[in-house]
Amino acid sequence: MRLSPITSTTTTSTSKPTSRSTLTTALSAAANKKKSAAAPKETDTEIRDRILAEIDSGMRQYPSWISEYGEPEDELALDDDDDDAIDAATLGQWDEKDLEDKFDYEWDPDEGDEDPNNLDPAYEYAAPFELDEEGIEVGYDPVFGRSNPIDGRTILNPPDSYVIDAKTRDDSLVPQDFPDGDPEIKLNEDITALRKSLKIVETHTDPFLKMEVPNHAAKWHGYPEQLSFPKQDYMNNRFTKPEDATDFDKLGPARARQLAVQLARSRNNEWLPEGTSEAYHASKTAIYKEKGVITGSTLPGQADPALVAKIQPALDVLGDVVELLSIEVDTVFRFKYHGLIKNKRGMEAWAGVLIRNCDVDCTGVVFETGFRKRDPYYDGGSHWYGPY
């Protein structure tokens, strides 16, 4: 049996007809919503400018309570306004270029800036340090060092006030205490000259330090913080002469690497020219050959084969810890010691006992260690610092 498609007419029959005005309102609201979403949002600055423009044009009025808000303008105004005073508008507009200016303490020696810590030659300064009656620096502490605030930056002839200083004074602006030609003027000038010639350091008591500090001193700006190591010459600590050095900067990467490998694999490279290492070690042992004495070194000497054969049992016991270097005056035995430095004294005494047990006369045993003074790998030291 063939089934017919099921259709529903209940929705059409039961739903209410939509009016034309309702449809128009919905379409208008959707259009306005889309338009508001597409339009850019106003910033706070734009809102402020728009409100101020509406107030100026008269479209917007101040509210009634604005007169009671804040303080009246008459109370904010100064009682004695100065017409010559500098206001904010005269100073100009601040911008990012103001950050490019530097203070006195901001200076870069690498760029050639003048050192602000240099002393002004127009003034005289005190001695770098003052000595007491016993010849000891005043304020010196053996733990904390110098502490005297009166040092080489203390000014002995500070400038006077610009009102009375001879370079800047204007007699027309300063009232005269004495009439012209009064002998008191000359007397006051002599007293002022005498006071300046004494070069007395003017001081005051600092409330925090509880000590006398100078009133006039050259300001100390310090030095810039060192953020990296100073630049060194590329040929620093090299044995090669500058005229014989290979300029790797002029070579390409491939050729520079190839030449570097060749120099590294050869015995005559740029770091240690041929014969440099041999000359260094020869200089260390030259004193022994010059004086004819080998004690204190690890150089081998003469040893009687008969005595060596007699002390062979003792050498077998000592094993690889020692190595016989020489036998001096048939009773002193020199060995090269390979053991720990902390056991050196005990091993020397034990070696003497072993040699005497072989019926050999022994008046001394010397263990030579060369330049090795300690065992950094065993006593917690660092093997990068000598001497060892």
Residue-wise DSSP of 241-298:
-GGG---GGGS-HHHHHHHHHHHHHSSS-SSS-TTHHHHHHHHHHHHHHHHT--TTS-
What is the per-residue pLDDT for 10? 42
Closest CA to 335 of 346, 345, 323, 343: 323
Instruction: Share the mean pLDDT of the chain.
Output: 79
pLDDT-derived band at 159, boundaries 50, 70, 90 = confident
Closest CA to 301 of 366, 349, 371, 354: 366
Percent of the chain at pLDDT > 70 equals 77
The DSSP bridge partners found for residue 366 are 334
Please give the structure tokens belonging to residue 156.
């002995």
Please give the Cα distance from 27 to 24 (Å, whole number).
Answer: 5
CA distances from residue 111 to 98, 115, 226, 345 in whole angstroms, order as listed: 20, 11, 14, 61
What is the per-residue pLDDT for 350? 95
Amino acid identity for residue 221 in this structure:
H
Within the chain, residue ranges assigned H as helices are: 10-14, 20-38, 44-57, 73-76, 88-91, 183-198, 253-265, 276-291, 305-310, 312-318, 344-356
Report the predicted TM-score, pTM, of the whole model to 2 decimal places: 0.37
Residue 81 or residue 1, greater confidence: 81
Q: Above 60 in pLDDT, residue 209?
A: yes
Mean pLDDT of 121-148: 85
Q: Give φ, ψ of 90 to 5 degrees.
A: -70, -30
* Cβ 116 vs Cβ 221: under 8 Å: yes
What is the per-residue pLDDT for 196? 84
* Cβ 316 vs Cβ 322: under 8 Å: no
pLDDT-derived band at 70, boundaries 50, 70, 90 = low
Mean pLDDT of 62-70: 73
Q: Residue 131 gets which letter from DSSP?
A: B
Closest CA to 119 of 150, 155, 148: 155
Q: Above 70 in pLDDT, residue 102?
A: yes
